[in-house]
Structure 1
Amino acid sequence: MSLTIQLQTMLSMITMGVWLGASLDTYGKLLYQPRSFSWIVAIRDFLFWCIQALLVFYVLYQSNLGELRFYVFAALLCGYAVYRSLLQTVYNYVLDRLIAFVLSIIRFIKKSVYYIIVKPIKWILNLALSFCMIVLTIVWKICLVLSSVVWKPLWWLFRPIARWIGGTKQWQKVMPFLTKIKEVGRSVWKKKDKR
């Protein structure tokens, strides 16, 4: 292995050490880490480290065709130490600002969707419901008026016939029941009007 390839491998592994430190901080900030043991968190951590190992090996393969030497691990540790000592504070500050910016954009999109789409739909549905209640009220009142208009002439028409047949006594027995139904209907209707 030539000196150029060794130098290239060293620099790439130092870079990957910095990458490992940054990705660890990003992983810790973006994903919730519970204190108690959880299989989901364990599987997630295992997948994270598998992906990191594959990335490191891919970069190593591109540098020296995947030859593992002691200085490869030393360079990784050196890069991680450089990140921890020099770059961690700046990176965490930038990462916090970026996360806050993304969250503010998400909140803005949610509010925009609510005020542009959800709230108008609610208003239209309430308006349609109010309109339906008005129409039903008008139809109900028209039915009451029509029933009273039709009922009275029929009553005056059939009353002599009922007397002639002798059904007045039976009608007098039914009449209190019909009056009671009419009173109940009027009381229900008054309660609806009060609402």
Structure 2
Amino acid sequence: MSLTIQLQTMLSMLAMGAWIGASLDTYGKLTYQPRSFRWTVAIRDLLFWCVQALLVFYVLYQANLGELRGYIFVALLCGYAAYRALLQSVYTYLLDRLIMLVVSIVRFIRKSVYYILINPVKWLLKLTLSLCMIVLTLVWKICLVISSIIWKPLWWLFRPLFQSLSKSKIYGKMVPYFRKLKEKSQSVWKKNDKR
């Protein structure tokens, strides 16, 4: 292995050490880590470290065709330590600001969708329901007026018949049914008048 390839490998491993430090900070900020043990957290952590290992090996393969030497691990550790000492505070500050920006953009989009799409649809549904109730009430009132217009002439027409029936024995048996019918019709009229 030539000196140029060794230097290239050292620099790339230093960069990968810094990358691992930044990835750890990002992973810690973006994921919830409960204090108690959970299998989902363990599997997620294992997948994170598998991805990091694959990235390191890919960069190492690009630098020196995947040849492992002892100084590679030292370079990774030095890169991680350099990140912790020099770049961590700046990176976490920028990461916090980026997360706050993304959260505010998502909130803005949610509010915009609510006020532009959902709120007008709700208002239209309420308006449609109110109009339907008005139409149904109007139709009911018209039906009541029409039935009273039809009922009164029929009452005057069949009144002599009812009076003659009232003197018969059949009427005495039917009086309770007529009273119930009259009470029900009066209660319906009262409810409609209140509306």
Q: Where does residue 139 of structure 1 map in the other structure?
A: 139
Secondary structure at the aligned position of 2:34 is classed as coil
- Structure 1-normalised TM-score? 0.93
Report the Cα distance in structure 2 between the residues aligned to 1:59 and 1:132, rounded to whole angstroms. 68
Alpha-carbon offset, residue 171 of structure 1: 5.5
Matches within 5 A, 1:66-145: 66-145=66-145
Alpha-carbon offset, residue 184 of structure 1: 1.8
- State the AA in 1 paired with 2:179: P
Q: Where does residue 188 of structure 2 map in the other structure?
A: 185
Report the Cα distance in structure 1 between the residues aligned to 2:182 and 2:174, rounded to whole angstroms. 12
Q: Where does residue 36 of structure 2 map in the other structure?
A: 36
- State the AA in 2 paired with 1:96: D
Report the Cα distance in structure 1 between the residues aligned to 2:188 and 2:9, rounded to whole angstroms. 92
Alpha-carbon offset, residue 163 of structure 1: 4.0
Alpha-carbon offset, residue 172 of structure 1: 3.9
Q: Where does residue 148 of structure 1 map in the other structure?
A: 148
Report the Cα distance in structure 2 between the residues aligned to 1:128 and 1:5, rounded to whole angstroms. 75
**Is residue 49 of structure 1 aligned with residue 49 of structure 2?**
yes
Report the Cα distance in structure 1 between the residues aligned to 2:144 and 2:175, rounded to whole angstroms. 23
**Is residue 59 of structure 1 aligned with residue 59 of structure 2?**
yes
Number of matched pairs: 192
- 1:125-168 C-alpha deviation (Å, 9 max, x unpaired): 00001001101110111111111111111111122234456565
- 1:156-192 C-alpha deviation (Å, 9 max, x unpaired): 112223445656545644331122011221343355x
- State the AA in 2 paired with 1:122: K
Q: Where does residue 26 of structure 1 map in the other structure?
A: 26
Q: Where does residue 8 of structure 2 map in the other structure?
A: 8
Comparing 101-110 with 154-163, greater Cα deviation is found at 154-163
- Structure 2-normalised TM-score? 0.93
Q: Where does residue 17 of structure 2 map in the other structure?
A: 17
Gaps of 5+ in 2: none
Report the Cα distance in structure 1 between the residues aligned to 2:12 and 2:193, rounded to whole angstroms. 84
CA RMSD after TM alignment? 1.5
Comparing 155-164 with 68-77, greater Cα deviation is found at 155-164
- State the AA in 2 paired with 1:117: L
Report the Cα distance in structure 1 between the residues aligned to 2:75 and 2:87, rounded to whole angstroms. 17
- 1:81-124 C-alpha deviation (Å, 9 max, x unpaired): 00000000000000000000010000000000000000000000
Gaps of 5+ in 1: none
Report the Cα distance in structure 2 between the residues aligned to 1:176 and 1:57, rounded to whole angstroms. 95
Q: What percent identity do the matched residue pairs reach?
A: 66
Q: Check 1:132–1:154 CA distance in 2 against 1; reply closer, same or farther (3 A cut).
A: same
Secondary structure at the aligned position of 1:134 is classed as helix
- State the AA in 2 paired with 1:128: T
